[in-house]
Amino acid sequence: MGTDHTRPAPSASPGVRRILVAAVVPLFVTTVIAAVVLWPRQDREPADGPALSRYQGTVTRVVTEPCPPTPETPEGGPGRSAGPCGTVTVAAEQGPDAGRQVETPVPSGPGAPRVEVGDKVILVELTDPADPAVKTYNIAEHQRGTPLVWLAALFAVAIVAFGRWRGLAALGGLVASFAILLGFVLPGIDAGQPPLLVAIVGAALIMFVVLYLTHGITAETSVAVLGTLGSLVLTGVLGTLATAATHLTGFGSEEATTLSMLQGDVDLHGLLLAGIVIGSLGVLDDVTVTQAATVTELAHANPGLSRRHLYRAATRVGRAHIASTVNTIVLAYAGASLPLLLLLVADSRPVSQILTSEFMAQEIVRSAVATLGLIAAVPLTTALAAVVRTAGNAARVQDREQEPASHGPHGVAVAAEGPGNDALAALGAGDTESAGGQIEGVRARWRHDLDQPWDAEW
């Protein structure tokens, strides 16, 4: 069964399109103005402390040896070794010692990289405070640039190969999303702007660019934009109320604590809310686009469906989508926090105290608020799409009713165009042979249409 990618989307009536333009354009202009107002005007002063110089190098030799005995523990037992001992010779490729062989101690301690001859590594240059002229090197980590580039290339090729032009547009939307995050959202928060406001404006910018770039400038996309924007605002409001009710401070993670030490004036509570809004955007636009497309296809398959029946049918699809997406959200948050969750499992406190701790409460609020915003997106987007589609159908029916009818010689009234009407015209003229041919053509077209999948255009 073939897939037809050329069938155009059913268009909305001119009146409906004008209403959508009147709703979307002011929101877009407001978003752009807000982004200009919130745009960071100056860079934040760098954090205090010396910046470590990092250079690339290649391991040429590894020599390990037994570690010297460590001091006894307070209990009187033997001390534990911090890891392997020895030296690693690295051919420096950058920095003042580029082209030379430098020696570093074998990396040791929790999370230390394991190195072998031929490994590409990152060297950190250290200076002796007592004698700045004396410089030493330590291995910080492996170089990961090359495998990441290959993985990104495979990712891009797979998307374009499967999605073709839609896949290419999706890649463009992904690039635009990161450009907005790195160019506006993060610098705006770093410059001291309200994190929640910056996140909502940034998410709105991402939404406008990605949805219209990926799905085209259509009535269905505009409905998805309105549904996504409404759900984003609701998510921000619910997040504000939930974090206030649970007295969350934003210090529920080690990263937040480190950030507060480096930049003490960052609003960590607002940063928590911003993370909830940005994190829910990706799932929201998936749901809103799906609901708008579902309503469009149902209306196209049965133009006689009323607004109420169209809404009910599309909502049933939305319920099935939500049932699977809710689990996706919870597992995504759990997977990102798996080490800390494992640490909490080993905690000796009662379960009730663990669940109400700052970290766990923060993750519960994230999941619950994102899910509530997602659930609200289904009826909101479905209702908007049903109104738009039924209004368009009503306008087209009215236009057809106003078209002048043509009459055959025997007074049979027929419409002006269409293969079925051509058959009626021939029948009215008494040309049964021609009418039979026209009817057979209609049957052939119906058989061809039935061979097409219902979601061909998407």
pLDDT of residue 202: 94
14-43+152-396 classified as CATH 1.20.59: no
**Can you give the pTM of this predicted structure?**
0.72
pLDDT of residue 228: 94
pLDDT of residue 51: 65
53-64+84-143 classified as CATH 2.40.50.140: yes
pLDDT of residue 348: 79
Q: What is the CA radius of gyration of the chain?
A: 32
Token code pair at residue 218: 């259509």
* pLDDT tens, the chain, 458 aa long: 333 444 445 566 777 888 899 999 999 999 999 999 999 876 666 555 556 789 999 999 999 888 877 665 555 455 555 567 889 999 999 988 888 999 999 998 878 889 999 999 999 988 877 777 778 899 999 999 999 999 999 999 999 999 888 889 889 999 999 999 999 999 998 888 899 999 999 999 999 999 998 888 888 999 999 999 999 999 999 999 999 999 988 887 778 778 888 777 788 888 899 999 998 888 888 899 999 999 988 888 888 888 889 999 999 989 988 888 888 877 877 787 787 778 777 877 887 888 888 888 888 898 899 899 999 999 999 999 999 888 755 544 454 444 444 444 444 444 444 444 554 454 455 555 554 555 555 455 545 544 444 333 33
The neighbouring-strand residues paired with 448 are none
Q: Where are the domains of the chain?
A: 14-43+152-396, 53-64+84-143, 404-450
Nearest to 270 by CA among 291, 253, 248: 248
pLDDT of residue 304: 83
Q: Distance between CA 208 and CA 197 in Å, rounded?
A: 17
CB 203 within 8 A of CB 277: yes
Token code pair at residue 360: 């766990």
> CA–CA distance from 419 to each of 4, 147, 258, 308, 416 (Å)?
21, 59, 72, 32, 10
Q: Distance between CA 62 and CA 293 in Å, rounded?
A: 60
In the chain, the amino acid numbered 187 is P
Burial (CB < 10 A; 0-12, 13-18, 19+), residue 251, is middle
